[in-house]
Amino acid sequence: MNIGLQLRGYLILRRVLQPVMRRVLAGRICKAKENAARAGERLGIATQVRPTGRVVWMHAVGLGEVLALRPLIVGMQQVAPDLNFVITSTARSSADVLGQNLPANTVHQFLPLDGPTYMAKFLDHWQPCLSIWSEQDIWPGAIHDCAARDIPLAYVNGRMDNKSTAKRARLAGLYKKVFGLFDLITVQDEQTAENLSSLGGRDVRVTGSLKPAAEPLSVDVGMLATLQVALEGRKIWVAASTHCEDEAVLIDAQRELVKRDPSWLLILAPRAPARGDEIEGALVQAGLTCTRRSKGGQPDPSHSVWIVDSFGELGLWYRLAAAAFVGGSYGSLGGHNPWEAICLNLLVCHGPNVANFAKDYEVLDYSGASQPLPDDASSVPVLVDFVVQSQTTQANVGALVEDAKEALKPLVKDLIAMIVAGR
């Protein structure tokens, strides 16, 4: 295998830095940035038994990206029922939600650090017949190790903006070799296709986003029924994956809604549940009454905001609401995934910065399933009007979802063919 000078240098460096990786991991555990009980997975030590038969390894960085892979797993299992899947991610929060949202014969592990010893342990244990990488999280050492073992490689649902491309272009020799190792590359949009081709991707295909095809988030039906009774008579909207910049707008909007009608309830699900104290303080300062999920609180008629500072229940909150604000869209972050709400037929509104999901929102805004909010003083009245009107309107995105599911079929066929053919 001709790996080139830059990739060769990377492989040497990763071996030298393995002790440093271990120390950094220990520091992250001490700061609660890693799951201590499963820290061995980051060193390639499996915490699940390998199933008998063929195993496909899929990787995506975090929860939203992993959940977007579910329809692909289901589609592949329909064609080849004997397939088992191991999904890896790096975000700690992903493990707290995935268990109840994974398809059959699928397990989750944290991605090992990109050291040769750690990756070897992982690959020795799982022995994948195919490695699938998704979205933006690319680790050159792991990809090289798969190729060295003749494990077929696919990169699906790719997304890479110009800024990310420019960063990788500084190591063009490295990424040209890495992307050249993939046997199949499919991406969400034309811009990503151009960017990946410039970095060495071969025969890049535009297939659109996998996210519209995702199955709805799971829900505890008993809890849903209980809360529907408890909250009967309330007008409910939800703000999901919020950050402080989003909350400044949301708080002002909820104050206005409560002035009009005290029955309005905002279910506020912050991106980082650990911010519960901070959010509660801001609400109290704004004169809004609230209770918190993490403290066992459940809203009574006196509460105007319910802070749901917990993991794994977004499917519940979306089913209680008539409309959703999807956060990360004020400030510089670039927005979060709108499809989890859309797939449950919720109308979605968002702030002005949705660069991470620009193409998705372009389609949704055009179809009327989502509404952008301005980045000026008019944002609050526009949001208030949107929430009020949502009580009598429902998103109709059935055609978008069906189109996405149809687009999956050729990809499933190609991936199965890669397994059958080997490398």
Active site residue 313: no
Contacts 24+ apart (CB under 8 A), 40-43: 41/109, 41/110, 41/112, 42/110, 42/111, 42/112, 42/113, 42/118, 43/112, 43/113, 43/118, 43/121
DSSP string, 59-72: E-SSHHHHHTTHHH
Other CB atoms closer than 10 Å to residue 375's CB: what's the count? 13
Catalytic pick from 65, 135, 280, 340? 65
Rounded to an integer, what distance in angstroms lies between the CA atom of residue 119 and that of residue 113?
A: 7
Residue 89, both tokens? 């991610």
Rounded to an integer, what distance in angstroms lies between the CA atom of residue 316 and that of residue 214?
A: 16
Other CB atoms closer than 10 Å to residue 237's CB: what's the count? 29
The gap between the terminal CA atoms of the chain, to the nearest Å, is: 14
240, HSE (Cβ side, Cα atoms, 13 Å): 31
- Helix (H, G, I), strand (E, B), or coil: what is residue 396? coil
Rounded to an integer, what distance in angstroms lies between the CA atom of residue 419 and that of residue 423?
A: 8
Say which residues have a Cβ less than 8 Å from residue 181's Cβ, sequence separation at least 6. Answer: 143, 144, 146, 147, 153
Task: Name the residues annotated as catalytic.
Answer: 65
